[in-house]
Amino acid sequence: MKPLSGLLIVDFSQFLSGPSASLRMADMGARVIKIERAEGGDLCRRLYVSNLELDGDSTIFHTINRNKESFAADLRKPEDRKAVAELVQRADVVIQNFRPGVMERLGFDYGSVARLNPRVVYGEITGYGKSGPWRDKPGQDLLAQCLAGLPWLNGDADQPPVPFGLAIADMLAGAHLVQGILACLVRRGITGKGGCVEVSLLESVLDFQFEVLTTHLNDGGQLPRRSAVNNAHAYLGAPYGVYQTQDGYLALSMQPVVRLGQLLDCPALLTYTDSKDLFDKRDEIKQILVDHLRKYTTRHWLSILEPADIWCSDVFTWPRLLEHEAFQALDFIQHVTRREGVTLRTTRCPVRIDGEIYKSAKGAPVLGQDTAQILAELMAPPQEAQA
């Protein structure tokens, strides 16, 4: 029995942030009923990554909505609103990620839902919070990254701001929402009281930067100083970065430069004995490493550095990673299938509990696939429907 088995989640959210939260809870055993517009469904069904689709839906939709059920509803119709309200009455958790005011207009905001179901834990994600001048701005990942200042940490000093190459704001907000929902469920188990969990893309990206933002708050307000040579962290000194070798790349983490000079047979590094040099002269030090590390292969350098317990690594491509025995030992890939027999290879839940890996072969639903079954359950008494 998975830890969230028996919990019912009614999920109004779409795109990535909210669905990523309900996905993680589904992985851990919760039943997730996805409320979708009868016409078109979740807009993420048409959010293509590299123009790749499967059975009429984007692969990203398949990936982030696996192991869920789809209930198609037109909330302008009284009968559909009534059915959704009954689902909400039975739910343990309700999730939504619309702009402020949308759920109020639909009649499924926290206040309305709590009147139907006082024990409900209501989770909502906004772009920038429910107040302030950015309240009504589009809550989109790239925009949230940029407003939070994150792109100024990436890339080299002579480059423009470089955004993260992932939907990092969405994924972080989804993870934070799960944390808040689980905390509220624990409280409900103790007190019987539900509650409303609020997360925003902006606050999640700000929290993601808490180490460096705290430095900025206490260093007199200096701007981040990206390295001009192989920047990997605007606030860390040499040798931190990724370096080209004769046949690939080598990642070097935080290490004493003099020790590196000894191991790499690079006398030019032996003069940097002052720890302050690692930051103040980091571009100078990194350029020495750039020129030196190109002389030999990645394997050559690893054969010297790894036995000496230097923090370093090869820089894998995905094909190399997927073939490696270390990746295969994780058992991280699963196959999910939906009712038409369409199969997708994807990743599994990254969380293990009591050593157990959580997988499920249930793929993302076709729009409205489960509507009839769920309506039949609503006609039955709650205890019979749960059985």
Give the Cα-Cα-Cα angle 64, 69, 70 (nearest 5 degrees): 95
**Residue tagged 């989770």 (tokens):** 123
Q: For the beta carbon of residue 258, count every other beta carbon within 10 angstroms.
A: 14
> Quick check: 108 and 96 in contact, CB under 8 A?
yes
Helical (H) or strand (E) element with 370: none
233 part of the active site: yes
Torsion sign over Cα 40, 346, 343, 29: negative
Helix pair angle (168-191, 201-208), 10° resolution: 100
Can you tell me the distance from the alpha carbon of 213 to that of 208, in angstroms, rounded to the nearest whole number? 9
Give the Cα-Cα-Cα angle 60, 368, 5 (nearest 5 degrees): 75
| H-only helix segments in the chain | 17-27, 59-64, 78-90, 102-106, 110-116, 141-147, 168-191, 201-208, 210-218, 257-264, 277-280, 282-293, 298-305, 318-323, 325-330, 371-379, 382-386
- Catalytic residue, candidates 233, 300, 324, 335: 233
Sort 106 into a burial class: Cβ within 10 Å, 0-12 / 13-18 / 19+.
middle
Active site residues: 233
